[in-house]
Every structure is written in C-alpha cells, then in structure tokens.
Amino acid sequence: MLRRALSLVLWRTLALAMVVLGFVGIFLPGLPTVPFLLVAAWAGGRGWPQLERWLLNHPKHGPAIQRWRDHRAVPRRAKWMSLLMMIFSTVVIAFTAAPLAVKIGVPSVMSVVAVWLWRRPEV
C-alpha cells in the first residue's frame, strides 16, 4: 500500500513538473512545449488519469499528443521550428565562452536529434 502511494506521488510529481515546464515553454522561445506535455500525458496515464484526459482533450495541444501516441508523428512545421531553434542554439553557443567540448558536443547531440526527428512520419 505504501509502495502504491509512493508510486502515485512520483508519477504525479513527474506529470506536474512536465506540465509546468510545458507552460514555461509557451513563453520561452527556446523551450518546446509539446515534448514536455507528451511526457506529462505519459506519466499522467500511470498515476493521474484525470490529467492525462485533460491533456488529450486540450484544444491546442491534445491533437499533437494524440498524433504522437497513434503514429509517432510530428508535424512538418514543428520539425522546421525545432531545426531552426537548434541552428540558433548552435550559433549562440559558438559565440560564448563555453568549453570546446560543449561547442562540439551540444551541436552533435542536436544533429542526432534532428535526424531522428526528420525521420518521424508527418501524419
């Protein structure tokens, strides 16, 4: 019983944290909203069904979450926006005092993510 209660608290905490990050992403251009809401819906499905239902029925973000669940699909516009933000981030990092490992590592990881993202269907 204690284990189940702890599990619920952890799933709900994760779901709520992701909703908060998704909300912050509405206002910060470099922080994406939908990926956080995808994780929130996933965690909500394990410990907070009402939150999961609310996210799936959300008029703006619900369809994107459902598209991902049904087809693992990402709209072309989202792909382009992600790519542009990755390029912008790479340029910003290049002009900072970040260590060389960061200047090489971060764009490398973003490149792998970009390739993965562009291989997703566009249903």
pLDDT at residue 30 tops 80? no
SS3 10: helix
| CA angle 90–24–37, rounded 5-degree value | 90
What pLDDT sits at residue 80?
95
Taking all residues of the chain, what is their mean pLDDT, rounded to a whole number? 94
- Indicate the residue type of 71: H
Verdict on whether the full-model pTM lies above 0.85: no
Task: State how far the alpha carbon of 24 is from the alpha carbons of 17, 51, 111, in Å.
Answer: 11, 18, 24
pLDDT at residue 1 tops 90? no
What pLDDT sits at residue 123?
80
Q: Dump pLDDT digits (tens) for 31-90.
A: 889 999 999 999 999 999 999 999 999 999 999 999 999 999 999 999 999 999 999 999
Q: Which DSSP letter does residue 58 get?
A: -
Rg from Cα positions in the chain: 17
Q: How confident is the model at residue 22 (pLDDT cuts 50, 70, 90)?
A: very high
pLDDT at residue 29 tops 80? no
- Name the percent of the chain lying above pLDDT 90: 89
* Domain spans of the chain, in order of start: 2-71, 76-118
What pLDDT sits at residue 118?
97
What pLDDT sits at residue 32?
85
- What are residue 29's phi and psi, to 5 degrees? -60, -30
